[in-house]
Amino acid sequence: MSPARPATRRLTRYLPILGWARHYDRSTAASDLVAAVIVTIMLIPQSLAYALLAGLPAQMGLYASILPLVAYAIFGTSRTLAVGPVAVISLMTAAAVANLGLTDPAAIALAAGTLAFLSGLMLTALGLLRLGFLANFLSHPVIAGFITASGVLIAASQLKHILGVEAEGHTLIGLTGSLLAHIGQTNILTLVIGSLATAFLFWVRKGLKPRLLAAGLPPRLADIGAKAGPVAAVFVTTLLTWALNLSGWGGVKVVGAVPMGLPPLTVPSFDPTLWSQLFLSALLISIIGFVESVSVAQTLAAKRRQRISPDQELIGLGTSNLAASLSGGFPVTGGFSRSVVNFDAGAETPAAGAYTAVGILVATLVLTPLLYFLPKATLAATIIVAVLSLVDFSILGRAWRYSRVDFAAVFATIALTLGFGVEAGVSAGVLISILLHLYKTSRPHVAEVGLVPGTQHFRNILRHRVLTRPDIVTLRVDESLYFANARFLEDYVLDRIARDPAPKHVVLMFAAVNEVDMSALETLEELNRRLAETGITLHLSEIKGPVMDRLKRSHFLDDLSGQVFLAQYDAWAALTAAEAGQAQAG
């Protein structure tokens, strides 16, 4: 009622925290705190592992899990999304930074931070411009194919840590070749640790939960217990490596010295050359990160009948990435597994994320010396087990059965991701989706229709028993008419008339024509003229409101040789009567 209301609502749109913080009470705080403790425990090994995957020092993973969570708690709209480093984005960061050919660790870290900064700027700008719909241009099967192929690439990239060898590459062939070339140098002790950790984590994922359930734990707790497996693996292998000095005499590679203390204040590079080199990578990371995050957020919101705002989510993720770039981090987004844990653990507001940030901060202040003897093979095992759950090649079979076009897009995305890396894969996926869509609509389905007897309904003469007349050809155009298919319709109609001299009337049934753009308008004018030259009148029926409004702004309807009918049945009745009248008169 007060004049301040709309302004407040507007502010709440951009600062969702103003909405939920007013109703924050002790019981909500208790739920959020419990969830935060559980997520913190899960996030410590994950953050370290994803920093490793991105080719960055382990502590950057921790830094990327502090301030970004606070930023999301302020600007994000999902109650339960947990942001931070995630597998696919970390792999894309590694690929983007590798393109630069840097060797100095400080330069690499600066590039990763700058990537987060650029991505943060892009996401925030898209959000302020309310362009969240752009994410829709990635088709579901393309995303599924990309995630599957990325999972395979990520798992392959971690094998070197399990084997304890050096290897590099950003494609499946490159990685495999590099691994095979170095396989002779495998460190047996590392392989034993890595294999046991991997086997243990697979067992935890598949076998532990049923046992915990059988032991009488409630499902939610059993689930969380199973998710804590990586922490146990980290704890046991670190203890063993320290106690037996495996990194000394055994050559097991460990995380090593991790600086202790608050995240540093970092400033991204403003070098225009670096910006232009990172631009495309930042864009792709923004798109993939946004799509992944929004789909997780929507899935969780739907379960509790909450809504998220995609445009505000862009701002939430954008500010998170800006925060990451200013506090020693690298690109972040909303992660699937950690968000599910947060949700299952009972988080009720984004405050849980802020509490998690405090937890990770405490870890960087206290725990980092304990991480010295953590074997890299253990972190690799946690990554492999996590990403292999993303791999699902069944999308290929489902796409093949449903539509060859969707299959082509998925197959190309998977093949290009595996063969040429993540950036080529996702770019190709977007382009192929769009081009195949344009190709499909550039050759629209046109059906010749007739009257279903006893009704006022018209259907395809090839599929149904319908009434037709030789002097009236009715064509139902099953596509919007626009530049890519405008000429096709003209050719189709003229070919139909050329094959059969009987028709005196051509009726175009526009029930499925949702748009007539200017290119198509010119083609219709041309068609009207050509048909008139051969003595055939052109009629239109069932033009939709918005299309009719548009056509009325041109001269087309004035020049049309025939009429415009509201319903196809009206056209049939009027033209039949007119021809009958003429036949009688003649």
Q: Which is nearer to a second copy, 18 or 405 (CB)?
A: 405
Q: Which is nearer to a second copy, 38 or 308 (CB)?
A: 308
User: What is the radius of gyration, based on Cα positions, of the chain?
Assistant: 31
Phi, psi torsion values for 473, nearest 5 degrees: -105, 120
Q: Which is nearer to a second copy, 223 or 406 (CB)?
A: 406
- Least separation in angstroms between residue 530's CB and a second copy is 8
What CA–CA distance (Å, rounded) separates 124 from 137?
19
What CA–CA distance (Å, rounded) separates 158 from 50?
11
- Least separation in angstroms between residue 277's CB and a second copy is 18
Q: Which is nearer to a second copy, 393 or 439 (CB)?
A: 439
- Least separation in angstroms between residue 141's CB and a second copy is 5
DSSP three-state, residue 334 = strand
Q: Which is nearer to a second copy, 180 or 566 (CB)?
A: 566
Q: Which is nearer to a second copy, 211 or 445 (CB)?
A: 445
- Least separation in angstroms between residue 448's CB and a second copy is 12
Q: Which is nearer to a second copy, 501 or 545 (CB)?
A: 545
- Least separation in angstroms between residue 137's CB and a second copy is 6
Task: Return the number of other C-beta atoms located less than 10 Å from residue 559's C-beta.
Answer: 12
Q: Which is nearer to a second copy, 17 or 494 (CB)?
A: 494
Q: Which is nearer to a second copy, 13 or 544 (CB)?
A: 544
- Least separation in angstroms between residue 115's CB and a second copy is 25
Residues whose CB falls within 8 Å of the CB of residue 195, separated by 6 or more in sequence, listed in order = 162
Nearest Cα to 155, choosing from 91, 234, 229, 201? 91
Phi, psi torsion values for 191, nearest 5 degrees: -60, -40
* Runs of H (alpha helix) within 348-470: 351-366, 376-388, 394-402, 404-420, 422-442
- Least separation in angstroms between residue 282's CB and a second copy is 19
What CA–CA distance (Å, rounded) separates 141 from 134?
16
Q: Which is nearer to a second copy, 25 or 533 (CB)?
A: 533
- Least separation in angstroms between residue 571's CB and a second copy is 12
Return the structure tokens found at 80. 């339960």
**C-alpha angle 366/370/375, rounded to 5°?**
140
Residues whose CB falls within 8 Å of the CB of residue 267, separated by 6 or more in sequence, listed in order = 326
- Least separation in angstroms between residue 514's CB and a second copy is 4
- Least separation in angstroms between residue 250's CB and a second copy is 49
**C-alpha distance from residue 219 to each of 210, 223, 396 (Å):** 9, 6, 33
Nearest Cα to 84, choosing from 72, 76, 92? 72
What CA–CA distance (Å, rounded) separates 182 from 196?
21
What CA–CA distance (Å, rounded) separates 261 from 63?
10
What CA–CA distance (Å, rounded) separates 193 from 377?
7
What CA–CA distance (Å, rounded) separates 18 from 7?
12
Q: Which is nearer to a second copy, 514 or 582 (CB)?
A: 514
Return the structure tokens found at 38. 């559980």
Q: Which is nearer to a second copy, 165 or 520 (CB)?
A: 520
- Least separation in angstroms between residue 415's CB and a second copy is 18
Task: Return the number of other C-beta atoms located less than 10 Å from residue 84's C-beta.
Answer: 31
CB contact at 8 A, 108 and 56: yes
The size of the chain, in residues, is 586
- Least separation in angstroms between residue 293's CB and a second copy is 15
Q: Which is nearer to a second copy, 233 or 449 (CB)?
A: 449
Nearest Cα to 294, choosing from 241, 333, 348, 343? 333
**C-alpha distance from residue 488 to each of 56, 239, 439, 446, 536 (Å):** 54, 71, 12, 10, 19
CB contact at 8 A, 115 and 269: no
- Least separation in angstroms between residue 278's CB and a second copy is 22
Residues in contact with a second copy by CB under 8 A are: 133, 136-142, 302, 398-399, 401-403, 405-406, 433-434, 437-445, 447, 452, 455-457, 459-460, 463, 478-480, 482-488, 511-515, 517-519, 521-522, 530, 544-546, 550, 553-554, 566-567, 569
